Chains A and B, each alone.
Chain A
Amino acid sequence: MNAIQTKDIHVNLGNFHLSDISVKIPKHSITAIVGPNGSGKSTLLKTIARLMKQHTGEILVNQQNSNTFPSKDFAQIVAMMPQSKQSLPNLTVRELISYGRAPYHSWLSKTNRKDSEIIDWAMSITNTIQHSDRLFHSLSGGEQQKVRIALALTQQSEILLLDEPTTYLDIAHQLEVMEMLASIHEQHQITIIMVLHELQQAVAYCDYLIAMKGGKIKTTGRSIDLLTRSFLKDVYDIDAKVIYEDGFPLIIPKTSRIAKSS
C-alpha cells in the first residue's frame, strides 16, 4: 500500500519547473529526497503538503486524490516541518507546540485533556519537555529544531514530511534528530518523507531514496542499492567512491589536496 503516490505532476514556478514527477511512497517507510541544491526537493515536498499547487497531474494520499480532503482533515493526515529559516513567534515551547492541535479544533473549542496528553507526549519524545516554559527565541538552533518537530508530531498525522531537518545543525544534533525520527518511526509506524543533504545519513536511516536533478526524478530505489559511484556521478557530478564501515556508508570523494600529497 502506498501512503503517497504522485502521478506525473508538473509544477510551474516561472523560472523553475518540476516535471514528470511520478513516485510511490510505501506506507510506514522512511524516504529521503536527495539531490543537488536547486533540484526541486523542497518544491516536491511542499507540493505533496499542498503548500504549492501542481499544474497537471495528481497526488494520491491513502489512494485518494489529495485535493479532495478538507484542509483540516488533510492536516490530520499529513504534517510537515518547514525549513528552519521560517521564523516562529516568540511563544513558550509549550504554547507553540500546542498549535499542532489546531487541525482538531473549531473556532471556539478549547484545549482539552487529550490535547494536553498529546502535547506532553510530543515534548517527551522529542526531549523538549524540560524547556516547556522557555521562550522559543531563547533556545539554541538544535533545541528549536526539536520543537519544530514536536509541533508537527502534535498533529498526530500518519504521514510526516520534514524539509531539511538537520541542515544548520552540528553533527551531534544531526544524529540526535535522526535517531529521534528513527525511534518515532519504529514506535508509531508513521510514514516519513524528508529532504536531506547529508547522503550518508540518508542511506543509513532511510529505506528509500528519491534522487532529483534539475526539477526531475533522476532515480529512485532502496537506499543501500542506490548509493554507488555512478549514482554520485549522475546526480551530483562528483567523482567519489562508496565504502561501508560497520554497515554505515562512507562517501570518499577525490580531492585535489589529498591527491597531491599522496
Chain B
Amino acid sequence: MNVVIRNRRRKWIILLLPILLVITCIFSLTYGSVDIAIKEIWSVIIENDQSTFHTIIWELRLPRILIGLLVGACLAVSGALLQGVMKNPLADPGIIGVTAGGGLMASITMLVFPAYGYLLPITAFIGSFVTAIIVYGVAWDKGASAFKIILAGVAINALLGAVQNGIMVIFSDRVQAVIPWLAGGLSGRGWYHFSFIAPYAIIGLLLSLFAIRSANLLMLGDESAKLLGQKVELHRFLLITLAAFLAGIAVSVAGLIGFVGLVIPHIVRLFIGEDYRYLLPVSALGGAILVVFSDTIARSLFDPIELPVGVLLAGLGAPFFLYLLKNRGLI
C-alpha cells in the first residue's frame, strides 16, 4: 500500500462513514414490516406528530437502532483490541469464546438469580474476562500463536456450550425467556435496555481512546515496546480487560452475536493500515453500521418472523472466517 493512497483513504473514510451511519439509521427507521416514508419520520421525530407511526418509530425502531449502534461499536472495538493484544488477526470475541463466557454468566444470572438481573452487564463482563484470560493462558507458550489461540478458543467454546446446555435443562421452566436472547438479536429491545447499557458502553468506548497509545506500542512487538519503557504485561492485561468489558456489554443486551469483531477491524485494516489512532474509531463506526444494517435486514427478511441478527451475521461472518483461515494457510 502506498502512503498517499492510504492517507487519502483515511480522509475519505473518516468523512464518509459518519454520513453512511446516518443513512443506515434512516434506512432502518423507514424499512421494515411497515414501510414509513421519510417525511412521516420527520413529522414524528421533529414535529412530534402523534400519528400511527409514532409508536413504531419511538418505541420500536429508534431504541433498537441506538442499541444496535452501541453493540456494533463495542464488538468491533473489542475485536480490534483483542487482535492487537493477542497479535492475532483472527481473534474475535465470538470465535475465541469471550462472548460465550459472557453469555454463560449472563444466562446463569437470568436463570438462577433472576432477582439480580440489573447486574447483567457486570456478570457478563466477568464471564468474558475470565474466559479471555483462560484462553490466552492456555495458548501461551513464550508467545501465543494465532492458531493456538483459535484452538484453545474452540475447546473453551465447546466447554462453555455444554455448561450452558446443562443449565438450560436444569432450569427448563424459566428457559423461554432466555432463548431469543441466546440466538443473538435485538428483537424486543427498547428504551429500558438502552438506558441499561448506554452508560457502560459509553464508558467502555471512551476508555478505548486511552488504549490507543498502548495498543500501538504493543503492535511494535513485545521487545520493542519494553525497550521504549512500556510495561508490556500490565498493558496487555488492561487491554484484555477492556476488550472483555466491551464484549460483555454487547452480550448483556444482545446475546451471542459473533464475527462483528473479526470482520470489521479486518476490513478497516486493509483500507487504512494498522495504526490504532485510525483503526479504533473507524472500526467503531463500521461495527455500528454493520449491526444496524444487518438487524434491519434480519427483521424484515422473513417478515412477519424476525430472524435474530446474530444468525444473519454468523451466516455472513463464518464464510469470511473460513476464507481468512484458508488465505493464511491455516487449513
Convert A121-139 into 0s and 1s, putting 1 for each residue whose CB lies closer than 8 angstroms to a CB of B. 0000000000001110000
A51 and B227 contacting across the interface, CB-CB below 8 Å:
yes
- In the complex, what's the smallest C-beta–C-beta distance from B278 to chain A, in angstroms? 11
Contact B224 A103 (CB under 8 A): no
Asked if A92 is at the interface (CB within 8 A of a chain B CB), the reply is yes
- B221 cross-chain contacts in A, Cβ below 8 A: 86-88
**How many Å lie between the Cα of A151 and that of B141 in the bound state?**
29
* A175 interface hit (Cβ, 8 Å): no
Is B217 touching A99 in the complex (CB atoms < 8 A)?
Answer: yes
Across the interface, name the chain B residue whose C-beta is closest to A94: B3
Q: Are A49 and B224 in contact (CB under 8 A)?
A: no
Residues of B within 8 A of A108 (CB): 210
Q: With a CB–CB cut-off of 8 A, which chain B residues contact A231?
A: none
* Total A residues in contact with B, Cβ cutoff 8 Å: 32
Shortest Cβ distance from residue A1 to the other chain B in the assembled complex, whole angstroms? 24
Binary flags per residue of B1-20, CB closer than 8 Å to A gives 1, else 0: 11100100000000000000
Instruction: Establish whether residues A74 and B223, one from each chain, have CB atoms under 8 Å apart when the complex forms.
Output: no
B274:A71 contact, CB within 8 angstroms? no
In the complex formed, the residue of A with least CB distance to B2 is A135
Our pick among A82, A87, A88 for the contact of B227 (Cβ within 8 Å) is A82
Across the interface, which residues of B come within 8 angstroms of A87, CB to CB? 221
What is the 8 Å Cβ interface bit string for chain A, positions 61-90, against chain B (1 contact, 0 not)?
Answer: 000000000011111100110100011111
CA distance A260 to B221 in the complex (A): 50
Q: Are A51 and B228 in contact (CB under 8 A)?
A: no
A-B contact count (CB 8 A): 65
Contact of A133 among B3, B226, B229 (CB under 8 A): B3
Interface string of A91-134 (1 = CB under 8 A from B): 11001000110110101100000000000000000000000011
In the assembly, what is the distance between CA of A108 and CA of B3, in Å? 26
For A71, the closest partner residue in chain B by CB is: B229
A54 at the interface (CB under 8 A from B): no
What is the distance, in angstroms, from B28's C-beta to the closest C-beta of chain A?
A: 36
Confirm or deny: A185 has a beta carbon within 8 angstroms of a beta carbon on chain B.
Answer: no
Minimum Cβ distance to chain B for residue A4 (Å):
16
Cβ-based interface call for A27 (8 A): no
Are A51 and B3 in contact, CB atoms less than 8 angstroms apart?
no
Q: Is the CB of B273 within 8 A of A91?
A: yes
Q: How far is the CA of A252 from the CA of B1 in the complex (A)?
A: 47
Write the nearest CB–CB distance from A132 to chain B, whole angstroms. Answer: 10
Supposing A91-B273, A91-B275, A107-B213 touch, asked if A75 and B220 sit within 8 A by C-beta, the answer is: no
Name the B residues within 8 Å of A76 (CB-CB): 229
Which of A50, A76, A90 gathers the greatest number of chain B CB atoms within 10 Å?
A: A90
B3: chain A residues within 8 A (beta carbon): 92, 133-135
CB distance from A45 to the nearest CB of B (A): 11
B-chain residues with CB within 8 Å of residue A50 when the two chains form the complex? 226
Most buried by A among B2, B226, B274: B226
Q: Are B217 and A90 in contact (CB under 8 A)?
A: no
Is A155 engaged at the interface, CB distance under 8 Å to the other chain?
yes
Residues in B whose Cβ lies below 8 Å from that of A99 = 216-217, 220, 224, 228
Interface string of B212-247 (1 = CB under 8 A from A): 011011011101101111110000000000000000
Q: Which of A75, A95, A152 contacts B275 (CB 8 A)?
A: A95
Q: Which residue of B lies closest to A69 (CB)?
A: B229
Give 8 closest A-B pairs by Cβ, nearest first. A75-B229, A72-B229, A103-B229, A102-B228, A71-B229, A82-B223, A89-B219, A80-B227
Listed by A's residue number, 22 A-B pairs whose Cβ atoms lie within 8 Å are A51-B223, A71-B226, A71-B230, A71-B231, A74-B229, A75-B227, A75-B229, A80-B227, A86-B224, A88-B221, A88-B224, A89-B220, A90-B1, A91-B273, A91-B275, A99-B216, A100-B228, A102-B230, A103-B229, A105-B213, A107-B214, A135-B3
Known interface pairs A75-B228, A99-B220; 18 further A-B residue pairs with C-beta atoms within 8 A, sorted by A's residue number? A49-B227, A51-B226, A71-B230, A73-B229, A74-B229, A75-B229, A82-B224, A82-B227, A86-B221, A86-B224, A88-B220, A88-B221, A88-B224, A89-B274, A91-B275, A92-B3, A99-B217, A100-B228
